[in-house]
Amino acid sequence: MPQIIGHNYIGGARSAAGKITVRSHDATTGEALPYAFMQATNEEVDAAAQAAAAAYPTFRTLSAIRRAEFLEAIATQLEALDDDFIALVTRETALPNGRILGERTRTSSQMRLFAQVLRRGDFYAARIDRALPERQPLPRADLRQYRIGVGPVAVFGASNFPLAFSTAGGDTAAALAAGCPVVFKAHSGHMATAELVADAIIRAAEQTDMPKGVFNMIYGSGVGETLVKHPAIQAVGFTGSLKGGRALCDMAAARAQPIPVFAEMSSINPVLVLPEALQVRGEKIASELAASVVLGCGQFCTNPGLVIGIRSPAFSAFTQSLSAVMAGQPAQTMLNFGTLDSYANGVQALHAHPNITHLAGRDQQGTQAQPQLFKADVSLLLNGDPLLQEEVFGPATVLVEVADTAELQRALQHLHGQLTATLIAEADDLQNHPGLLPLLEQKVGRVLFNGYPTGVEVCDAMVHGGPYPATSDARGTSVGSLAIERFLRPVCYQNCPDALLPDPLKNANPLGIARLVDGSSQPAPL
């Protein structure tokens, strides 16, 4: 088995100053694994934040190429982790082997994508307004702008993506790419995984000669609050529940110096099934949609939790098909017993609501999650019933039938902010419902056509974000290369001697990057 000592990672060393230990568990049996993790003391949290702050002046001024090499070294280290590692992750999360292998590839690809962004140089957003000494009535000074990392970033990993949204996940990659050292709070659900990934990051940092403190990791419960309140921390990345994310936002806003929190929290990802599409391929949609609902035991941020259709024989037939397919879905093991409890409670609340009918799914009991299908009266949407807006994390979804297009528009207007919305539609459907897309754009970060929201491509154009409560700040994304922008801020130089300017802004353009000069876009020289 891999060696796991359970000490905190602070400034390139390991630290175990505390007395409280926490354990990781086998997700399937609930049994404690043979590893103990030392909960960080307040002094250790402080030391971790200070280590990140000490690394910041050096790390932020490294060339983008040096940071790219660091990210690529992390990717290589992740790819080199062996079968024991994969086995350990599956044990801590109950996620199947293939999923973990795929997630590992995604995580290393993500590091490489940010390395590409660093090599491309557009993240600098370099802008130059040259001096106009003869301008009347006043001359213009030479003004140049680019973007630097905001400072040390605290990152909170997700339960449901032990690799891609965790220790070396998207937030960590974006922060490191931006030149921000990271203090990572290991998720209690997969601390052994976190340790092996942190080791990989530290190996990469040493290989590429990064400053100590560029990456730090702390274990334990309650340590996150101390971390977010630490004066050295300048931004927070979080993936998890609405309750947890909002608590961090509130803490960050109440600091003497408030800091931004990028929390990806809660989304029910409505899927609109339009009449013509149901007519043409209702059964296919039912089986594809069911597959999306139960994928990974429904434990995706973009799990489709709400399916809306217009009353018609086709929708009734679709409801029957979907019920039949959902009834045939097997139970699956969830990430941990806490998640299972929450799922059972969520399902119970849906059962208990007088205007919600249960359509398919076996009794929720035992140690696995039973896929469930419900149907809610449209009045729940029209009256803003909070139950329907709440994410039930797991393999459950709720159908809503609306009377007509007008009621559909009204129902959508009541939706809270979402990560995604999906239109299952034929060309005629889109033509017959021109008001849907403009309305959905106002509610979500991503609109899908004839696809399913689970499965988030890591690329330049992805938006994994959206209006509250999907995230705490709709102007960001936590997947894709745009995520780097959350951790950058602009700085302007006025009449700075060329030799002192950062490379992206020097007259000779030594990095060969695209820049905006005197109001005109200058592409990167070939």
Burial of 316 (0-12, 13-18, 19+ CB in 10 A): middle
According to CB under 8 A, which one of 390, 447, 503, 506 is a site residue for a copy of itself?
A: 447
CA 355, 356, 359, 362 dihedral sign is negative
Residues 161-220 contacting a copy of itself, CB under 8 A: none
Q: Please, which residue, 192 or 381, has the CB nearer to a copy of itself?
A: 381
The C-alpha atoms of residue 425 and residue 308 are separated, in whole angstroms, by: 12
Q: Could you say which residues in the range 19-58 bind a copy of itself, by CB under 8 A? A: 56-57
> Cβ distance 425 to 272 under 8 Å?
yes
Q: How far is the CB of 502 from a copy of itself (least distance, A)?
A: 9
Q: Is 264 among the catalytic positions?
A: yes
- Identify which of 8, 34, 44, 37 has the alpha carbon closest to the alpha carbon of residue 21: 37
Which residue number, 43 or 250, has a Cβ lying nearer to a copy of itself? 250
* Candidate list 180, 249, 297, 301, residue with the active-site label: 301
Dihedral sign of CA atoms 171, 174, 176, 179 in order: negative
Other C-beta atoms lying within 10 Å of the C-beta of residue 238: 30
Which of these segments, 74-82, 211-219, 350-358, 432-440, binds a copy of itself (CB under 8 A)? Answer: 432-440
Region near a copy of itself per CB under 8 A, out of 24-32, 268-276, 306-314, 491-499: 491-499
How many residues form the binding site for a copy of itself (CB under 8 A)? 77
Interface residue with a copy of itself, options 182, 200, 463, 511 (CB under 8 A): 463
Binding a copy of itself by CB under 8 A: which of 64, 74, 277, 444?
A: 444
Q: Which residue stretch of 15-23, 280-288, 345-353, 494-502 sits at the interface with a copy of itself (rule: CB under 8 A)? A: 494-502
Query: What count of Cα atoms within 13 Å lies in the side-chain half-sphere of residue 439?
Result: 19
Q: Which stretch binds a copy of itself (CB under 8 A): 3-11, 322-330, 369-377, 492-500?
A: 492-500
Q: Please report, as residue ranges, which positions from 367 to 426 form the binding site for a copy of itself (by CB under 8 A).
A: 417
Q: Of the candidates 457, 498, 507, 512, which one interacts with a copy of itself according to CB under 8 A?
A: 457
452, 288 Cβ separation under 8 angstroms? yes
The answer to whether 433 touches 387, Cβ cutoff 8 Å, is no
Please identify which residue in 442, 498, 507, 512 interacts with a copy of itself, judged by CB under 8 A.
442
Q: Is 137 buried (19+), middle (13-18) or exposed (0-12) by CB count in 10 A?
A: exposed
Could you tell me the smallest distance in angstroms from the CB atom of residue 230 to a copy of itself? Answer: 15
- Determine the Cα–Cα distance for residues 115 and 111; give it in Å rounded to an integer: 6
Compute the distance between CA of residue 393 and CA of residue 336 in angstroms, rounded to an integer: 12
Q: Of 4-12, 86-94, 168-176, 467-475, which part binds a copy of itself (CB under 8 A)?
A: 467-475
What is the closest distance, in whole angstroms, from the C-beta atom of residue 524 to a copy of itself in the complex? 6
Q: Least distance to a copy of itself from the beta carbon of 265, Å?
A: 12
Q: Is 477 left (phi over 0), alpha (psi -120 to 50) or beta?
A: beta
- For the bound state, the minimum distance from the C-beta of residue 374 to a copy of itself, rounded and expressed in Å, comes to 26
Tokens standing for 314?
């086709």
**Residue 139 structure tokens:** 């001359």
Nearer to a copy of itself by C-beta: 17 or 125?
A: 125
Kindly indicate which of the ranges 12-20, 367-375, 395-403, 518-526 contains the residues binding a copy of itself, using the contact rule CB under 8 A: 518-526
CA distances from 178 to 22, 51, 161, 427, 481 (A): 32, 17, 22, 42, 11
Which string of x and - marks every residue 59-98 that binds a copy of itself (by CB under 8 A)?
--x-------------------------------------
Q: In 211-274, where does DSSP find H-type helix?
A: 223-228, 242-254
DSSP 125: -
Catalytic residue chosen out of the listed positions 264, 297, 391, 401: 264
Instruction: Compare residues 371 and 445 and give the one whose CB is closer to a copy of itself.
Output: 445
The residue assigned the tokens 């979500």 is: 444
Give, as ranges, the residues between 237 and 296 that touch a copy of itself (CB under 8 A): 249-250, 253-254, 257-258, 260
Question: In the range 116-145, which residues lie near a copy of itself by CB under 8 A?
Answer: 116, 120, 122, 127-129, 137-138, 140-141, 143-145
Q: Is the dihedral of CA 59, 65, 71, 72 positive or negative?
A: negative
Secondary element (H or E) of residue 263: strand 261-264
Does residue 461 belong to the site contacting a copy of itself (CB under 8 A)?
yes
441 catalytic per annotation:
no
Other CB atoms closer than 10 Å to residue 359's CB: what's the count? 19
- CA distance linking residue 184 with residue 276, whole number of Å: 48
521 binds a copy of itself per the rule CB under 8 A: yes
Shortest reach from residue 59's CB to a copy of itself, in Å: 12
Q: Residues 89, 482, 484, 511: which binds a copy of itself (CB under 8 A)?
A: 482
Least distance (Å) between residue 457 CB and a copy of itself:
6
Tell me if 17 contacts a copy of itself by CB under 8 A: no
Tokens describing residue 65? 């190429």
Toward a copy of itself, which CB reaches closer, 258 or 338? 258
Can you list the alpha helix ranges (DSSP code H) found in 94-152? 97-120
Output the six-digit token pair for 441: 């754009």
Q: Note if the bond before 137 is cis, omega within 30 degrees.
A: yes
Active site residues: 264, 301
